[in-house]
Chain A
Amino acid sequence: AQSVTQLGSHVSVSEGALVLLRCNYSSSVPPYLFWYVQYPNQGLQLLLKYTSAATLVKGINGFEAEFKKSETSFHLTKPSAHMSDAAEYFCAVSDRTGTASKLTFGTGTRLQVTL
């Protein structure tokens, strides 16, 4: 069974500082990997996804993530945090072998951005 682990349920950074949100996956086959963001009282929206075309994936709002097979990781980064980045971030994995798009989500990391 596939799974993702997000290290750190809360991360706090200063505005302008590097954002690093960690995600490690477990899958018996090369997975598809996603990062979603959830702003308060809203649904989730896609930040970026890895489908094996390139290991460094660029997403919206200046975020990017690097797929590292040797470390089974897909950490999310942004060079300079903005106040508007405060939200909850979810890493998710999807199985390539099935016909359904069944996403398995991590437990989420809440990002706080301080002045």
Chain B
Amino acid sequence: IAGITQAPTSQILAAGRRMTLRCTQDMRHNAMYWYRQDLGLGLRLIHYSNTAGTTGKGEVPDGYSVSRANTDDFPLTLASAVPSQTSVYFCASSDHAGGYNEQFFGPGTRLTVL
């Protein structure tokens, strides 16, 4: 069982370029999330999806968009990357929305915007 896969593992991107980070889960979880991890700031929620077809904004949504066309996939798009979006991005999922549910995390994507 793979759990959550993320692609690419790492990427160096020129500022102004468009980039999509991919996330796929095989656990049939209803809820999915995108976080960014920055040194000294912990993890911050970018966007989330309670179920296929719905999305919501997290703490730091500006400059990012998401879609949830099906249960398994939750891509994160940077329409025009800026250096401040240099970070490690983690995708996560949980069986259901609701605060008590464990979230399962992918291995992360390290993104550098120059």
Contact = CB atoms under 8 A, between A and B. Distances in A.
Are A and B part of the same complex? Answer: yes
Interface of A: 9, 31-32, 34, 36, 41-46, 49, 51, 90, 94-96, 98-108
Contact of B99 (A9, A32, A36, A43): A32
Contact of A90 (B42, B59, B92, B99): B42
B97 A100 contact: yes
Contacts of A45: 104-105
Contacts of A9: 40
Contacts of B35: 105
Contact of A98 (B58, B92, B99): B99
A90 B37 CA distance: 12
Contacts of B105: 36, 43-45
Contacts of B43: 44, 90, 103, 105
A108 B42 contact: yes
24 contacts: A9-B40, A32-B100, A36-B105, A43-B4, A44-B105, A46-B103, A49-B102, A51-B100, A90-B42, A94-B99, A94-B100, A95-B99, A99-B97, A100-B56, A100-B97, A101-B33, A101-B94, A101-B98, A102-B58, A103-B33, A104-B45, A104-B59, A105-B44, A106-B42
A101 B101 CA distance: 7
Contact of B45 (A44, A51, A102, A107): A102
Contacts of A105: 35, 42-44
Contacts of B99: 31-32, 94-96, 98, 101-102
A38 B59 CA distance: 21
